[in-house]
Amino acid sequence: MSRTVLTVDDSKAIRDMVAFTLEPQGYRVIGAEHGADGLSKFRSEAVALVITDLNMPVMNGIEFIRELRADPKGAGVPVVMLTTESKPEMKAEGKAAGATGWISKPFDAAMLVAVAKKLAG
């Protein structure tokens, strides 16, 4: 199974922190700047896990998840929202779109590793 993680976030610092956290654990991390960029990379890579922000330019996280879930390749891939947004209604919208889980920023590195191991092996 692929141990590639796609991280979709308009913040380069967050993309870098996710890579810095997961790469030493044996994951290959690829980054995308927004949802449309993420879809393009998702369609061209074998991805085991997607970690996406909610608020991004071009295509936000909810739109990204809906598009990913509409693609047959995206049906079984876990998608975790990594965002500062914590309103219950936003979490419900993310879940309805197809999000597997939700992690709040700033994230705890050990928690992110545990989630990646659980969802991507």
pLDDT per position as a tens digit, 3-18: 999 999 999 999 999 9
Q: pTM for the whole thing?
A: 0.94
CB atoms within 10 A of CB 34: 20
Categorize the per-residue pLDDT at 2 as very low, low, confident or very high, splitting at 50, 70 and 90: low
93 contacts 86 by C-beta, under 8 angstroms: no
Tokens of 46: 């074998």
For residue range 65-101, list pLDDT tens digits in order. 999 999 999 988 999 999 888 788 888 888 999 999 9
Q: What is the pLDDT of residue 121?
A: 85
Categorize the per-residue pLDDT at 1 as very low, low, confident or very high, splitting at 50, 70 and 90: very low
Beta bridge partners of 4: 28
Say whether the peptide bond before residue 72 is cis (omega within 30 degrees of 0).
no
